[in-house]
Structure 1
Amino acid sequence: MTASPLGRRTADDDLELLRSGEITVVGRLTDASNATLYCEITGSERTATCVYKPIAGERPLWDFPDGTLAGREVAAHAVSEALGWSVVPPTVHRDGPFGPGMVQLWIDPDPAVDLIALARDPRHEGLRRMSVFDAVINNSDRKIGHLLPAPGGHLYGCDHGVSFAEEYKLRTVLWQWAGQELPGEALERLTGLRAVLADPASELSRALAGHLTGPECYATRRRVEILCEHGVHPYPSPDWPSVPWPPI
């Protein structure tokens, strides 16, 4: 089982807490463009902190007219787990104090890590996995501040609500591998992901179908197929800004 970012627990323990625990809103993250609430979540055996993003607090986006940002966050977690990289903290879709939304385990990043230096590091394996993951989900908003290096060394990422578009919209600060061959381990994981996505009855396919449109699911499969066929990190699009603004 995947280890929990909280220590001795497993990721399944975290998901169960997120699904069934009682949510208490502590405050709001005012820098976020959509309603993002910092909460405590309490189960029968423990209490943890989490982020709760209610669908009712989402602002409509012209380029993401279908589905919800919360659903895309949950879909990103499903892809992360299917790849076996756990680059997205445990995330569920559930009801909360302000209605249905996304609930994600809070990750306290290591204060000793320089995020700007980290984002530029071409040798960091976790960062390179993150770039591959972003290519799969077509992340249009990978900012430096969305990188969460945990104290134990594992790298997480957050804020995947504007992902999975049909059109190629990859915007990221992680372009240092553009055009380079994908690592063997990444190709192996992508090949496995390709097989899972090819089966409409697979757990991942069903999870994505619950939160994305049919064309978005198809586009996700095609991105994985293209990555496997070409075996290289993607290039920026000439028709779309390649870096989010602000980048931090």
Structure 2
Amino acid sequence: MDGARLRTGDMTVIGRVDVASNVTLVCDIEDGSDSADLALRVVYKPVRGERPLWDFPDGTLAGREVASYLISDALGWGVIPETILRDGPYGPGMVQRWIESADNHTDRGNRRDLVDLCEPGAVPEGFTEVLRALDPAGNEVCLIHADDPRLQRMAVLDVLLNNADRKGGHALEGRDGQVYGVDHGICLHTEDKLRTVLWGWAGRAVPDGLIADIETFAKILPGAVADSLSPHITDAEIDALLGRTEDLLEHRTMPFPHTSRPIPWPAF
């Protein structure tokens, strides 16, 4: 029922995410009743609100978001919330299920966020340090992320997607206990553009269970998956995806940074 509503229901804009680089609107899709509690909340990014990027000249950012979801779905990982391309109040755009995220600072006894900052030498148990830097006041801080298999799966997906913009705020811990990734508009380039805050697993082996899923994905990618991706990304980008998939299966380890800017800015 919700799937049909996502695709065809009338969207009502209720707000805008004003920190986003491109027009990002929060909408409700009603179920036909008078209860606002039954509305399906979604994120809507109209194509007409995209800022052109010189290094991503093909297709649309909305299309890349949909392609990224299709890849996550084909892997069976559920990392990216259901995402489609459809018409909306301001024309065609990406529409994605809204994720109700946990507030670790109130809901769960002041727990750390999945990606967080801490003082040097104070990395909490279950976290890994990515880098040290200076905050606006000149104090040294550590960028850390949880050593969590749910987040590790997202990091592996980012390698396949060639995600150029995995900020800390793009990794959400849902109230349902799942970890979700959002904002995949600058993924799937043919050139190496991986920029992420999730470098804590660099050089470590990819877990066997994820490798098994990637092996299955590699078999179906040239057929039905490629057909589903072709309206959204180029043939060269699909070929590059296959190349990254085969490379990960050959080496079975997470890559180290290969560029001078391995972390997006800002990091959150």
TM over 0.5: yes
How many Å apart are 1:15 and its aligned residue?
Answer: 2.9
Q: Which residue of 2 aligns with 1:232?
A: 253
Task: Specify the code of the residue in structure 2 equivalent to 1:139.
Answer: N
Segment of structure 1 superposing worse, 190-199 or 131-140: 190-199
Once the two structures are aligned, what percentage of the paired residues are identical? 45
Task: Specify the code of the residue in structure 1 equivalent to 2:247.
Answer: I
Query: Is contact 2:15–2:27 with CA below 8 Å preserved after alignment?
Result: yes
Q: Does 1:173 align with 2:216?
A: no
How many Å apart are 1:41 and its aligned residue?
Answer: 1.1
How many Å apart are 1:86 and its aligned residue?
Answer: 0.4
Separation in structure 2 between the aligned mates of residue 129 and residue 83 of structure 1, nearest angstrom: 11
Segment of structure 1 superposing worse, 13-22 or 131-140: 13-22
Q: Does 1:95 align with 2:92?
A: no
Runs of 5+ consecutive residues of structure 1 not aligned to the other structure: 1-12
Task: Specify the code of the residue in structure 2 equivalent to 1:153.
Answer: G
Task: Specify the code of the residue in structure 2 equivalent to 1:165.
Answer: H
How many Å apart are 1:225 and its aligned residue?
Answer: 0.6
Q: Which residue of 1 aligns with 2:97?
A: 105
* TM-score after normalising by structure 2: 0.83
RMSD of aligned C-alpha atoms?
1.5
Separation in structure 2 between the aligned mates of residue 64 and residue 165 of structure 1, nearest angstrom: 7
Task: Specify the code of the residue in structure 2 equivalent to 1:114.
Answer: R
Q: Deviations over 1:172-218 (max 9, x none)?
A: 0000111111100110011011111132xx1x211111100111111
Separation in structure 1 between the aligned mates of residue 95 and residue 176 of structure 2, nearest angstrom: 23
Q: Which residue of 1 aligns with 2:6?
A: 18
Number of residue-to-residue matches in the alignment: 232
* TM-score after normalising by structure 1: 0.89
Separation in structure 2 between the aligned mates of residue 137 and residue 149 of structure 1, nearest angstrom: 20
Q: Which residue of 1 aligns with 2:57?
A: 65
Q: Which residue of 2 aligns with 1:6?
A: none
Give the one of 103, 112, 121 matched to 1:114. 112
Task: Specify the code of the residue in structure 1 equivalent to 2:61.
Answer: L
Q: Does 1:222 align with 2:214?
A: no
Give the one of 26, 40, 47 matched to 2:28. 40
How many Å apart are 1:121 and its aligned residue?
Answer: 4.1
Q: Which residue of 2 aligns with 1:5?
A: none
How many Å apart are 1:152 and its aligned residue?
Answer: 2.2
How many Å apart are 1:21 and its aligned residue?
Answer: 1.1
Separation in structure 1 between the aligned mates of residue 32 and residue 70 of structure 2, nearest angstrom: 26
Separation in structure 2 between the aligned mates of residue 17 and residue 206 of structure 1, nearest angstrom: 25
Q: Which residue of 1 aligns with 2:213?
A: 189
Runs of 5+ consecutive residues of structure 2 not aligned to the other structure: 105-110, 117-126, 128-142
Separation in structure 1 between the aligned mates of residue 216 and residue 147 of structure 2, nearest angstrom: 24
Q: Does 1:131 align with 2:155?
A: yes
Q: Does 1:243 align with 2:263?
A: yes
Q: Which residue of 2 aligns with 1:154?
A: 178
How many Å apart are 1:27 and its aligned residue?
Answer: 1.4
- CA radius of gyration, larger in: 2
- After TM superposition, the runs of 4+ consecutive aligned structure 1 residues lying more than 4 A away are none
How many Å apart are 1:51 and its aligned residue?
Answer: 0.5
Separation in structure 2 between the aligned mates of residue 121 and residue 102 of structure 1, nearest angstrom: 29
Task: Specify the code of the residue in structure 2 equivalent to 1:41.
Answer: I
Separation in structure 1 between the aligned mates of residue 19 and residue 246 of structure 2, nearest angstrom: 37
Three-state SS of the structure 2 residue aligned to 1:176 is: helix
Segment of structure 1 superposing worse, 41-50 or 15-24: 41-50
Query: Is contact 1:56–1:98 with CA below 8 Å preserved after alignment?
Result: yes
Query: Is contact 2:145–2:198 with CA below 8 Å preserved after alignment?
Result: no
